[in-house]
Amino acid sequence: QKGGYKHFMLKEIFEQPMVVTNCLTGRLSPDHKHVTLPELEEMPVPERLHIIACGTSFHAGLWAMYLMENWAKIPTSVEIASEYRYRDTILGEGDQVLVISQSGETADTLACLRKVKEQGAKVIGLCNVVGSSIARESDTVIYTQAGPEISVASTKAMCSQLVVLTLMALFWGRRKNLLTEMAETECLDTLKRIPEHLETALPEMRETARTLARQYSGARSFLFLGRGSCYPLALEGALKLKEISYIHAEGYAAGEMKHGPIALIDPDFPTFALALADDLFPKVQSNLQEVQARNGKIIALTQDGMDLTVDSVWKIPHAWGPLDVFFALPALQLFAYEVADYLGKDVDQPRNLAKSVTVE
């Protein structure tokens, strides 16, 4: 069942190349130049988009916000379902709600769906489990096609959500005539190449994660930092680590560090930084200098050509713009996995957690 892997989580991390392929299947025009999403064809482009989700699905939504704003120029808010359901939320005419849920059964997310439907909003569901409550009750549902996810820690489902969210941003950007054909083609070409590229990269990434896990698993607490579209990844890296290794971890927007968390930095409180080759790299670099000035140890997830001198430099391949996420995400997942496994934790069934949270 585990296909020779020690845990379902590891198997599912290694399934991500196939997941990307499956997510793209049937969603490209015959010439592969455009996105086809029949599920959205009948609906207008949202004037504002409200994304609602929990946990890892919330992080996927937060990542998508950068693309929706940048490529499709859709004002986007991303909400934690358990907060949204009890707020006096305001939905304008032309607004649409996107609920993201792997299981399609998360109680708070489902409650939000029912609430906004009562307010007359159109709901798009992004689900993995076919026929789940959220899938059934949404006005239109897009399936992530990731296959069953057994491990409580969600890995390949997030990867599939990111692929579909990328396609949605391209689809809406094109409908608004905001994308040049070149940008769309470049993005889709990159997406199509990711499975092969990732397949080759994953074994080495696992080795690096294993080495780092041995060096850092004695830490009692970890700080994950990122900026821009890497900020949601910092949150996700921290969630994965605490969920399966029980090491306390906090994900933070790197620029917020000086507003409090910097007081915690000392040689026993390591930082895991997302320092990818994007426009914000120089800002992250200077945040890391602030950590180093306080003798904090740093693991930096970065790429060739980036100038960083920190304790542990972990280079991942380049894809294209925000699509580097398809390498950064498994790196974070593998790091958490290797730490938890090294510490002898029950990786697939972490204590106190359930795969789908059907109570509020």
Choose between 53 and 265: whose C-beta lies nearer to ligand M6R: 53
Of positions 96, 106, 229, 285, contacts ligand M6R by CB under 6 A: 106
Token pair in block for residue 125 = 């569901």
Q: What are phi and psi of 204, to 5 degrees?
A: -70, -35
Choose between 59 and 122: whose C-beta lies nearer to ligand M6R: 59
Of positions 76, 89, 102, 208, contacts ligand M6R by CB under 6 A: 102
**Which range touches ligand M6R (CB under 6 A), out of 35-43, 50-58, 191-199, 224-232?**
50-58
- From the CB of 58, what's the least distance to ligand M6R, in Å? 7
Element (DSSP H or E) covering residue 273: strand 271-274
Question: Using the rule CB under 6 A, is 101 a contact of ligand M6R?
Answer: yes
Angle of helix 231-245 relative to helix 55-71, nearest 10 degrees?
170
| β-strand partners of 298 | 271
Choose between 158 and 225: whose C-beta lies nearer to ligand M6R: 158
CA nearest neighbour of 316 among 171, 208, 179, 159: 208
Q: Which of residues 296-355 bind ligand M6R (CB under 6 A)?
A: none
Question: Using the rule CB under 6 A, is 57 a contact of ligand M6R?
Answer: yes
Rounded Cα distance, 83 and 329, in Å: 26
CA angle, 277 then 75 then 140, to 5° = 105
Number of H helices, E strands in the chain: 12, 10
Buried b (16+ CB within 10 A) or exposed e, 202-228: beebbebbbebbeebeebeebbbbbbb
Catalytic, 2? Answer: no
Choose between 19 and 300: whose C-beta lies nearer to ligand M6R: 19
Nearest residue to ligand M6R, by Cβ distance, number only = 55
Environment class of 34 (CB within 10 Å of its CB; exposed 0-12, middle 13-18, buried 19+):
middle
Annotated catalytic residue, options 2, 192, 283, 355:
355
Of positions 116, 124, 153, 298, contacts ligand M6R by CB under 6 A: 153
Of positions 243, 324, 338, 348, contacts ligand M6R by CB under 6 A: 243
Question: Using the rule CB under 6 A, is 154 a contact of ligand M6R?
Answer: yes
Choose between 103 and 138: whose C-beta lies nearer to ligand M6R: 103
Token pair in block for residue 232 = 């949601």
Q: Which of residues 170-229 bind ligand M6R (CB under 6 A)?
A: none
Question: Using the rule CB under 6 A, is 54 a contact of ligand M6R?
Answer: yes
Cβ(248)–Cβ(242) below 8 Å: yes
Question: Using the rule CB under 6 A, is 271 a contact of ligand M6R?
Answer: no
Query: Distance between terminal CA atoms of the chain?
Result: 31
Question: Using the rule CB under 6 A, is 103 a contact of ligand M6R?
Answer: yes
At 8, which amino acid appears?
A: F
Angle of helix 156-175 relative to helix 16-24, nearest 10 degrees?
30
CA nearest neighbour of 66 among 54, 55, 74: 74
Choose between 39 and 243: whose C-beta lies nearer to ligand M6R: 243
Question: Using the rule CB under 6 A, is 55 a contact of ligand M6R?
Answer: yes
| β-strand partners of 143 | 127
- From the CB of 63, what's the least distance to ligand M6R, in Å? 13
- From the CB of 159, what's the least distance to ligand M6R, in Å? 12
**Which range touches ligand M6R (CB under 6 A), out of 64-72, 97-105, 184-192, 262-270?**
97-105
Cβ(336)–Cβ(172) below 8 Å: no
Choose between 98 and 239: whose C-beta lies nearer to ligand M6R: 239
Active site residues: 355
Binding site for ligand M6R (CB under 6 A): 54-57, 101-103, 106, 109, 152-154, 239, 243, 356-357
